[in-house]
Amino acid sequence: MCITASELTKRFNGITALNGISFRIGCGEAAALLGPNGAGKTTTLRIFAGLLKPDSGSAYVCSFDVQRQPREAKACLGYLPEDAVPFLNLTVRENLEYVAVLRGLSDSVVDDAIRLLGLEDLADRTAGSLSRGNRQRLAIALAIMHRPRVLLLDEPLNYLDIPTQESVIRLFRELNASGSTLFVSTHIMSIAERLTSRVIMISKGVIVWQGTMDELKDNAASAGERIEEVVARLMK
């Protein structure tokens, strides 16, 4: 398994954000963490990224304990936060070059990332001068430039126009097809459908259902409901 959560619990000022959640995602899979705002999705991804410490339970990435083996876990990760903020005073290229140096990557990897996200015309602009959508493209480039074994994607299509969404969806699918494990946090069912084949539904810090997209569609068909209606019912 490339991603494992075991009884993860996290509280903030007495409020339980995660209440003993457990799940497993195999290497090469694409899975969605689907739930409404405030369900605990971002908290979950931040724990796997090593940015939050759970109050109890454990999180593993590529078989490494995120808390006990943070260096090894982070080495195999790419992480796209929900509201990523690159270094605003650096250019697009300088942001990518900085991360490339930290990860021991070659200059050709920087050029590839710029090309993949269509950033050629923006490469010498500072990140702070970019629109929110173009800044999101830079954030995606920073997350995928080292072709990570595991990609944590928190609302990855935020701020992107429709044509850019389509190209980014194709890119994520290609990365998954080449072996990267995708773990996508979203509150939008259509995004989960297009990017993943498994869904883990979370509501109020508790997992309410998990299974494949096909199983979810079968449940909807047998109940005579649209898939969105099934999701809404499970989230209550």
Helix (H, G, I), strand (E, B) or coil at 146: coil
Across the range 81-94, mean pLDDT stands at 95
Taking only the tens place, the pLDDT of each residue in 168-222 is 999 999 999 999 999 999 999 999 999 999 999 999 999 999 999 999 888 888 8
pLDDT of residue 19: 97
Exposure letters 159-176 (e unless 16+ CB within 10 A, then b): bbeeebbeebbeebeebb
Confidence band for 108, pLDDT divided at 50, 70 and 90 = very high
Token code pair at residue 79: 């992480």
Predicted TM-score of the model (pTM): 0.95
Region for 174 from its dihedrals, namely left if φ exceeds 0, alpha if ψ lies in -120 to 50, beta otherwise: alpha
Tell me the pairing of strands 150-154 and 77-80. Answer: parallel
Helix (H, G, I), strand (E, B) or coil at 179: coil
